[in-house]
Amino acid sequence: MQTKSLFRLSIPGLFISLCIFIHAGVTIESPDGRISARIFTAEDGGIKYKVEKDGGTVAGPANMGIVIGEKRYWTNVELGETLVRAGREVYERFGVHSKATNSYTGAVLSLISGSKQLPVSIEARVFNDGFAFRYLFIDWMQGKKVSGELTDFTLPPGTRLWFQTNILNYEGLYLERDVDDVESDYYIGPPLVGVLPGDLGYLLITEAALYDYSGMVLKSAGMRTFKAAFTDDDTWPVPASGRSSWRVVLLAPNLDGLVNSDIVANLCLASKIPDDADWVKPGRATWSWWSEGTGDFELNKEYIDAAAELDFEYTLVDAGWEDWSRGDKDGWALIAELVDYARTKDVGVWVWKRCSEIYDRATRLDFLDKCKEAGIVGVKIDFMDSESHEMLRFYTHALEDTAQRGLMVNFHGANKPTGESRTWPHQLTREGIRGLEYNKWSELPPEYYTVIPFTRFVAGPGDFTPCTFREDKLMGTTRSFQLATAIVFTSPMMHWADSPGLYLQSPVRDLISEIPAVWDETRVLPGSEIGDVAAFARRKNDVWFVGVLSARECESYEIDLSFLSDGDYTCMEVRDDADAGNDLTRSVKDVDAGDRISLRLREGGGYVAMFTPKHDE
């Protein structure tokens, strides 16, 4: 029988099913025809894939396959019946932009060994910005154990990589390496990001829809290859859903396409929260732990007052609040009193809780019920420090239980995001990142800040907790740089780390109040480069903000304002003070879309601007 080598279905909204017998391989094209993925039987009898973009190889040939017990799927197999489907949808998102588009061509490929169909198949999707695949299991596989995968990722020579090696809570600094120079046996916590050779653009490798499986890390194996590895489980049950998590190869022509990709969220289940759930509200919070510790009832009242003065929506009460006491009132009575006080200021209260204390379901439900009764709006759950199958079940159960009670969630001590916030939008953010807390006891180098917008933050929101104005905590950065992090870094629940008194007393108090936690549109500005400069323009309604972070000295950097709409704008800009060390200065001027702003950037320096349209009186 002849091989059918191409399936391309790119009609918006159309779903088509075909049944074709295939032996040698199948090629699936993206809706725009620029990316293709070929899945085929290799000479050794295994299944491989290869991804091309504009005719150039960007990934593979590399292995597919899974191990159930001691049986390795697949060896000595052929591709069998194939079901092809194309789809398109638009949905709402919090964070980088407010609308996401999900458009793909997909296929489900069955596998045959001898004359028998195997109980595992492959589902693959090709998007205009990448390729993804996962493994599907027949019902009678329930009860069996997955013990690993044969999956790997092989990259082209000349690819330049950035990756971090903390696979406990993903709080590592990033290394930069040529792919040929990556030593074997590195364990890498995704995402892994690369600049491809020539004009092939950027690549990112991670996973999506990690619900009922075991978390994938990458193990370098030499020969430009990275193998799927599972360090938190030796074995785990075949998922009840019958699906593994997705393996993702994101492809983008430039940094703007990388940052704006929705591929990770697109691969996840649609929202399980009703569209009219008005209790899911992104926002900004004051937070005492970074600057003053959790403190007591009175300190947290001060932070509520400051949140109100800054027009922030929330305050977070961190570890230790349950031990408060005053007279005959315990921690729960005092937190309820604090919530009542916050209501008079139109401020919501979040509280911290250690994961191990609510791991048991009965204890968790009791805690969450008490939170709801006290009027708390969200919980920060900490110290998971694992992506084992059992811990991932905890994540899901915690999201289900909080959703039922109308409580928002922030996971700390967490693994990488894999698009869960699409399914559970009340999970506003998570850690899984080395944040500003490290400046309390060590130092974040300036270049790190300019790497993470194009690596970790591409996978999903990160609770970095920006922005310090303290001289002893700037650690090689300026105050303008620190302020810009609140614009460049994405977190729909944005905890401002420093003492709010420093914000209120600063010359940019009014600007801080205006910086939102979610955006309608994001553009990465020309001149941005991983590890050197991160320059973002972001829009909320009709107001634009620009944040620039520089890890190197740049004598002349220009911002083209062509992203603005027609008409005049008032530009409030914040620059590094040329004569006063790390201080900042602010100024106001009129601009339009035809203007350019020239900057001299120092190492660890930054720039911030807000552009407000001038309306005719």
**What would you report as the CA-atom Rg of the chain, rounded to the nearest whole angstrom?**
25
**pLDDT-based confidence at residue 20 (cuts at 50, 70, 90):** very low
Residue 368 has pLDDT above 60, yes or no: yes
Name the residue type at position 286. T
Q: Could you tell me where the DSSP H helices lie in 48-151? A: none
Cα–Cα distance for residue pair 111/77, rounded to 1 Å: 6
Instruction: Output the pLDDT for position 114.
Output: 79
Residue 2 has pLDDT above 50, yes or no: no
Whose tokens are 């599907």? That residue is 136
In the chain, % of residues over pLDDT 90? 89
Mean pLDDT (the chain, rounded): 94
Instruction: Output the pLDDT for position 301.
Output: 98
Residue 1 has pLDDT above 80, yes or no: no
Instruction: Output the pLDDT for position 24.
Output: 75
Report the phi/psi class of residue 471: left, alpha or beta, with left for phi > 0 and alpha for psi in -120 to 50.
alpha
What's the whole-number mean pLDDT along residues 599-614? 96
Question: pLDDT digit string (tens) for 400-411?
Answer: 999 999 999 999
Lowest-pLDDT range of 96-105, 116-125, 424-433: 116-125
Cα–Cα distance for residue pair 537/58, rounded to 1 Å: 29
Residues 6 or more apart whose CB falls under 8 angstroms from that of 585 comprise 507, 574, 575, 576, 577
**pLDDT-based confidence at residue 615 (cuts at 50, 70, 90):** confident
Residue 17 has pLDDT above 80, yes or no: no
Whose tokens are 């729909």? That residue is 492
Residue 135 has pLDDT above 50, yes or no: yes
Cα–Cα distance for residue pair 458/477, rounded to 1 Å: 23
Say if CB 270 and CB 422 are below 8 A apart: yes
Paired strand residues for 538: 522, 545
Instruction: Output the pLDDT for position 22.
Output: 41
Cα–Cα distance for residue pair 124/108, rounded to 1 Å: 6
Residues 6 or more apart whose CB falls under 8 angstroms from that of 176 comprise 160, 161, 162, 531
Residue 566 has pLDDT above 50, yes or no: yes
Residue 7 has pLDDT above 80, yes or no: no
Paired strand residues for 131: 126, 249
> 555 burial class (0-12, 13-18, 19+ CB within 10 angstroms)?
exposed
- Strand bridging mode 99-113 / 78-92: antiparallel
DSSP string spanning 139-180? GGGTT-EEEEE--EEE--TT-EEEEE---SSS-PPPEEEEGG
Q: DSSP letter for 394, please.
A: H
Closest CA to 38 of 30, 262, 155, 179: 30
- Strand bridging mode 225-229 / 152-154: antiparallel
Residue 617 has pLDDT above 90, yes or no: no
Cα–Cα distance for residue pair 466/369, rounded to 1 Å: 31
What's the whole-number mean pLDDT along residues 48-53? 98
Instruction: Output the pLDDT for position 48.
Output: 96
Residue 535 has pLDDT above 70, yes or no: yes
- Domains with residue ranges and CATH for the chain: 6-266 (2.70.98.10), 283-432 (3.20.20.70)
Residue 23 has pLDDT above 70, yes or no: no
Instruction: Output the pLDDT for position 21.
Output: 46
Closest CA to 481 of 430, 535, 412, 405: 535
What's the whole-number mean pLDDT along residues 487-508? 98
Say if CB 498 and CB 508 are below 8 A apart: no
Instruction: Output the pLDDT for position 40.
Output: 95
Question: pLDDT digit string (tens) for 376-420?
Answer: 999 999 999 999 999 999 999 999 999 999 999 999 999 999 999
Instruction: Output the pLDDT for position 137.
Output: 96
Instruction: Output the pLDDT for position 616.
Output: 55
Instruction: Output the pLDDT for position 71.
Output: 83
Q: At what angle do helices 361-374 and 389-405 cross, to 10 degrees?
A: 30
Q: DSSP letter for 379, please.
A: E
Cα–Cα distance for residue pair 42/63, rounded to 1 Å: 9
Q: At 5, list the tokens.
A: 């080598």
**Other beta carbons within 10 Å of 279:** 14
Distances from the Cα of 595 to the Cα of 189, 484, 567, 592, angstroms: 42, 21, 12, 6
What's the whole-number mean pLDDT along residues 1-20? 34
What's the whole-number mean pLDDT along residues 267-275? 94
What's the whole-number mean pLDDT along residues 84-104? 95
pTM here?
Answer: 0.95
What's the whole-number mean pLDDT along residues 462-474? 97
Instruction: Output the pLDDT for position 242.
Output: 96
Residues 6 or more apart whose CB falls under 8 angstroms from that of 171 comprise 431, 432, 433, 434, 435, 438
**pLDDT-based confidence at residue 298 (cuts at 50, 70, 90):** very high
**pLDDT-based confidence at residue 295 (cuts at 50, 70, 90):** very high
Question: pLDDT digit string (tens) for 138-162?
Answer: 988 999 999 999 999 999 999 999 9
Residue 75 has pLDDT above 80, yes or no: no
Instruction: Output the pLDDT for position 15.
Output: 35
Residue 310 has pLDDT above 80, yes or no: yes
H/E run at residue 353: strand 348-354
Residue 9 has pLDDT above 70, yes or no: no
